[in-house]
Amino acid sequence: MKEFCKLWSMIKSEFSNKEILDGFFGALAYTTLIAIPSLLVMAQIISVFMYRLTFWVVLIIILVALLNNLLHYWWMLALKLKKPDSTINFKRLMFFNAQLVNVFVVLIGLLFIFIFIPMMMV
């Protein structure tokens, strides 16, 4: 965790907040272009096959985790392209950040599987 905080402080010292947010929102725009059609297809399939809802929630968890990794990869590339001579280890920082977000995605998915879906079925 100390290394993670150190890397973030290095990024904040080398890049301005506008540059960091610009890279993030650019990556978010590209990820959204991929996410919307795939999530709409999953939603349509779920509405047809409601009896296998837990299986589809697991697939959505996997899809969102992959999209999150893609978002962080593109964010890393955007920051690298802004300052190619940077000495920051972007790969390590973005990997840790992506996995931290993926843990929350899995926890929310498990909350749906074990609490919200059984409440719907009652």
Say if residue 113's pLDDT is above 80.
Answer: yes
Say if residue 87's pLDDT is above 80.
Answer: yes
Residue 61 near residue 105 (C-beta atoms within 8 A): yes
Q: What are phi and psi of 83, to 5 degrees?
A: -135, 90
Cα distances (Å, whole numbers) of residue 41 to 46, 63, 69, 91, 109: 9, 12, 20, 31, 18
Q: What are phi and psi of 39, to 5 degrees?
A: -70, -30
How would residue 67 be classed by pLDDT, with cut points 50, 70 and 90? very high
* Cα Rg of the chain, angstroms: 18
Q: What is the pLDDT of residue 42?
A: 81
Contacts of 66-70 spanning 24+ positions with Cβ under 8 A: 67/31, 67/34, 67/35, 67/38, 68/98, 68/101, 68/102, 68/105, 69/98, 69/102, 70/31, 70/34
User: How does pLDDT run across 68-79, given as a tens digit for each residue?
Assistant: 999 999 999 999
User: How does pLDDT run across 20-30, given as a tens digit for each residue?
Assistant: 999 999 999 99
User: How does pLDDT run across 5-53, given as a tens digit for each residue?
Assistant: 888 888 888 999 999 999 999 999 999 999 999 888 888 887 777 777 7
Q: pTM for the complete prediction?
A: 0.84
